[in-house]
């Protein structure tokens, strides 16, 4: 993919990057921590992931993560259903 696209991402952007690993490819989804000529570092749910630029096959900016709502209100909590 070269430097097309990902090299201009601002720190703090939410992104997904597909990159080569032994035996296939994998994805990293998260927030950009660092971008330079060598690649990109992404803060994922599992921790930071440094992806060398030469291994990136696809990359794009993605919308912010949706806000999660509780599934069921807890009736024992103040303000819960009566």
| Residue 66 maps to a domain | no
Model confidence band, residue 4 (pLDDT cutoffs 50, 70, 90): low
Q: How many helices (H) and strands (E) in the chain?
A: 0, 5
| Residue 77 maps to a domain | no
| Dihedral sign computed on CA atoms, order 72, 76, 80, 82 | positive
Supply the pTM of this predicted model: 0.77
| Residue 80 maps to a domain | no
| Residue 11 maps to a domain | yes
Strand residues in 1-78 grouped as ranges (E): 14-21, 24-36, 39-44, 47-52, 56-61
For the stretch 46-70, pLDDT in tens is 999 999 999 999 999 999 988 888 7
| Residue 25 maps to a domain | yes
| Residue 21 maps to a domain | yes
| Residue 53 maps to a domain | yes
Look at the chain and report how many structural domains it folds into.
1
The pLDDT value given to residue 79: 63
């Amino acid at each position: 993919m070269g430097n097309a696209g990902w090299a201009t991402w601002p720190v703090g952007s939410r992104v997904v990057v597909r990159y080569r690993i032994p035996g296939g490819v994998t994805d990293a989804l998260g927030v950009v921590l660092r971008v330079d000529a060598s690649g990109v570092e992404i803060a994922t749910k599992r921790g930071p992931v440094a992806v060398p630029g030469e291994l990136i096959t696809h990359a794009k900016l993605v919308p912010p993560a949706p806000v999660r709502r509780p599934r069921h209100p807890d009736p024992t909590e103040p303000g819960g259903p009566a």
